[in-house]
Structure formats: C-alpha cells, structure tokens
Amino acid sequence: MHYPGKLEEQAKAKLTQNGWYYASSNAGQSHTHTTNRQAFYRHRIIPRMLVDTNERDTATTIFGHKVPAPIGFAPVGINKIYHPQGELPVATAAGSLGLPYCLSTAGSQSIEDVGAANDARAAKATDGGGGIGGSQAAQGVRFFQLYLPHDDELTRSLLQRAVDSGFTACILTLDTWQLGWRHDDVATSNYAFYHGIGADLGLSDPVFQARLKEKGIDPKTQPNEAGALWIDNVWHGRAHTWEKAAWAMELWKEVSGGKPFCLKGIQSVEDARRAVEMGCDGIVVSNHAGRQVDGAVASLDALERIVDAVGSKTYITYDSGVRSASDVVKALALGAKFVFVGRLWIWGLSIMGEAGVRHVITSLLADLDILMNVAGFKKIGDFTRECLESGPKNY
C-alpha cells in the first residue's frame, strides 16, 4: 500500500467509527474526490538534468508573510474528534514549522487558545527548536476561516476575536452553508453531531453564550442542545449571496484595519471573476476535498481555467487532493501561488498528535526538497507550465 493509504489505515485504527466516517466521507459516490486525484495524473512533470540544484529554496510569501514553503494547513473543524486537545497540537506544529495555520470557525478550541498555541512554538523555533532553516518569525502565521452565520453580531464577535488573537487574514468558505450528502456520515457522525459531540465543539464566543442564555440552554448540562445551536449558526443551510460576502469583507477590513480577505471554494471562472470584482485579496480554488458536490469538476482542472482568466489579478491558492510533493509542484506549475493540505495532517493528528502532524508535514517538505533536486528545480518560481506534459493518460 502506498504512503497516504498507510496513514489512512493507521488513522482509521485509532479513531472512533463516527470520527473516521466524518473525516473520510465524501459527497455522494465520491466521484469528486476521485476526480480530484485523477486530475493530478493528467499532468506529468518533465525532469531536467544537469541543473545546479545544490542550493534550493522553497521560500515564498503569502499575504505579506515570508514562509519557508508554499504549503499551509487547510481549515478543518472539530479537531477533538481526532485528538483530546483538538486544534492545539496542530497550531503548535504549524507554528514550529513556520507554515500558515488556518483555524476553522467550527474549531473545538477557542480562537484565543489556538492563537497562543500557534505562537508558543513559533517563538521557540527561532532558537533552533524546530522549523525549517530556523528563520521564521516569533509569531505564528495564522488565518481565520469564516463560516458566515446569519447572526451579524456573532460574525462581528468572531472576527474581532480573531484579530485580537493575531489572525492576519480571513478566509470565507463559500461551499459549505450546509454539509453535503455524505452517505457514511449521514448514517453515523452527522447524527452524532446533534446527539453526541456537542462537547467537542468550541462554544466560548460571548455572543453565542448570550444566545444560549436567551434560549435557556445550559451548555454544561445540555451539550447536545448547545452543539446543535452552534451548528445551526455555522452550517445553517440558508444560502448567502455576493452582497453578504461583500458585507463580510467590509466588516473584516474594518475590524482588522484592512488585512487580507479571501474566498474559499471557488470552482468556476465566473465566480473567480466576481471575486476579483468584489475586491477580495485572494481565492482558494477548492471543492472541499470532494465533500460537498458529488460529480463536481476536479479542483485542479478548475485551477487551470481560473488562472488563465484572473491569474494576474488576484492571489490564487489551491487545495483538494494534495497528497505528495509532486501534487504541490503540479498545482504551482498550473499557476497556484500556494497550496493547503487537509486530510494529510488530519491523519497525522489522529495517529500521533503533534508529533504525527509534524511527521506528515516534514515528510511532505522533505519530499518537495528531494523532488526539486532530482527534477532540476532551484526555487518554486521554476514551477511553470513548461515543466508539465499535460493530457489524458490512464494509470
């Protein structure tokens, strides 16, 4: 069995059945998940020889931060499913590696605690305690992912807390007002959301606490009811519009003093153009790892078209299906400036907590460094479409 498959097996052995189904399930028949992977096979790297790759540099910048590699942690909710300390070991690992960490609105831990965990080890890494090259800043680089509630006061509170906790960009997820139809999950974990894991959700927001009080729900004695109310705020099933997204951007700009705002879940050229017109600072081309719309376009195929249309006008990042360095190289060669990974670090967290997260991410970084050496790339700017042979081929 190949490497990510082994990780999945080990994570499955560690997780509860509900936890495993929640993390691994995809929309419908998993066609989108499968097509995400197949899209990578349609591009093949053309290695170059006798290039002086003795000095290689994977550093890049994202939203004004210099980071050691074009790889970040995709937002993933409810991390207590995978580890008793939830998001903290992940934020700590990201901080120690100097790579951007993105906290989900649906986190198990408070925004404040995650911010502190992300900084703690980042500071240590500057003394050679970890990281890559020991050159990262003392503060972790972190972004806040927003699931936009219909409760505007709650949105303001979340964004203000994120700013106060050192989150330097907001990523608004557009593809998940409601969880997609995921067969395994519908049969198990989704049910558990409403009836069993209220205690795994972070419910500390003061505006949300006031809402609980108004409804007479005590989160200590009624965790499931409290969890259900929170879920009604983040995955409420009631669609938003471009006007509301623009409102969220303005609000973020106001509370953050103009920090970057990004839209995640863009899959069409039309929406990418609209995002540019809206004035947002970047987009994440993503189909949520194939968990929302079954039979949707592969994110990598969407990426190519979107880069052609608006690549010079906005900062384009990518996620969905990245499992190895060659996937990173292909996404960057097709025009993404940065990639995020999700399931890879979820498996690491499930298997071995912070050490597991560090293991999978440092393995990905080592893979990238070696690939650059053997394929003739000195820096990430060398990844261009000319490095790829593209076209259908089955294997």
Binding residues for glyoxylate, as ranges, are: 22, 147, 182, 288, 291
Kind of pairing between the strands at 65-67 and 60-62:
antiparallel
Part of the chain binding ligand FNR (CB under 6 A), chosen from 63-71, 238-246, 283-291, 370-378: 283-291
**Is 109 among the residues that bind ligand FNR (CB under 6 A)?**
no
**Is 145 among the residues that bind ligand FNR (CB under 6 A)?**
yes
**Is 108 among the residues that bind ligand FNR (CB under 6 A)?**
no
Neighbour-count burial of 214, counting CB atoms closer than 10 A to its CB (0-12 exposed, 13-18 middle, 19+ buried): exposed
Q: Can you tell me which residue has the tokens 């002086």?
A: 52
Do 282 and 317 form a contact (C-beta atoms < 8 A)?
Answer: yes
Part of the chain binding ligand FNR (CB under 6 A), chosen from 12-20, 48-56, 318-326, 373-381: 318-326
Residues 6+ apart with CB under 8 A from 356: 347, 348, 349, 350
Report, in Å, the least distance between residue 129 CB and ligand FNR. 27
Complex with ligand FNR: residue 345 or 377, whichever CB lies closer: 345
280: its two tokens: 């947002």
Report, in Å, the least distance between residue 179 CB and ligand FNR. 9
Report, in Å, the least distance between residue 76 CB and ligand FNR. 4
- Which 7-66 positions form the footprint of ligand FNR (CB under 6 A)? 23
Tell me the per-residue interface mask from 200 to 239 with ligand FNR, x by CB under 6 A, - otherwise.
----------------------------------------
Q: Could you count the other beta carbons within 10 Å of the beta carbon of residue 304? A: 20
- Which residue has the CB atom at the shortest distance from ligand FNR? 342
Strand residue runs (E) in 327-390: 338-341, 388-390
Residues 6+ apart with CB under 8 A from 151: 207, 211, 233
Strand residue runs (E) in 292-394: 315-318, 338-341, 388-390
Please report, in range form, the residues annotated as the binding site.
Answer: 22, 75-77, 104, 145, 147, 173, 182, 264, 286, 288, 291, 319-323, 342-343
What region does 265 belong to: left with phi over 0, alpha with psi -120 to 50, or beta?
left
Gyration radius of the chain's alpha carbons: 20
Among 69, 76, 310, 357, binds ligand FNR (CB under 6 A): 76
Active site residue 33: no
Residues assigned a catalytic role: 288
| Binding interface with ligand FNR (CB under 6 A) | 23, 74-77, 104, 106, 145, 173, 264, 286, 288-289, 319-322, 341-343, 346
